[in-house]
């Protein structure tokens, strides 16, 4: 399979993720969309790495996963804290800080 196809798939998933972030207002879903974006990048890295006969990209994927895990922890922490304060995870309710 050509490398471009992989990258296209990665691009599609990345864009879908970005789209999700743009349209959804549920914090959890936004977070999941972000995870989609990360995964798209991972897919790209692995594909490129495989194509170039290198390993560094694969290593990168591992670190992205680690970071994703860490972010998941933070994100859900924030979601819980936010939910406690506002009783919702609608990000439109995060409107206290504005000019």
By the 8 A CB rule, do 33 and 24 touch?
yes
CB of 67 vs other proteins, minimal distance in Å: 5
The C-alpha atoms of residue 26 and residue 68 are separated, in whole angstroms, by 19
The C-alpha atoms of residue 43 and residue 36 are separated, in whole angstroms, by 10
CB of 97 vs other proteins, minimal distance in Å: 4
CB of 2 vs other proteins, minimal distance in Å: 10
The C-alpha atoms of residue 54 and residue 95 are separated, in whole angstroms, by 46
């Amino acid at each position: 399979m050509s490398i471009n196809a992989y990258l296209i798939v990665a691009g599609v998933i990345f864009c879908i993720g970005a789209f999700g972030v743009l349209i959804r207002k549920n914090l959890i879903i936004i977070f999941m969309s972000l995870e989609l974006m990360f995964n798209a990048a991972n897919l790209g890295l692995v594909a490129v790495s495989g194509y170039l006969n290198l390993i560094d990209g694969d290593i990168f994927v591992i670190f992205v996963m680690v970071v994703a895990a860490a972010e998941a922890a933070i994100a859900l922490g924030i979601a819980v804290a936010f939910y406690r304060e506002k009783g919702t995870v609608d990000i439109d309710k995060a409107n206290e800080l504005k000019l």
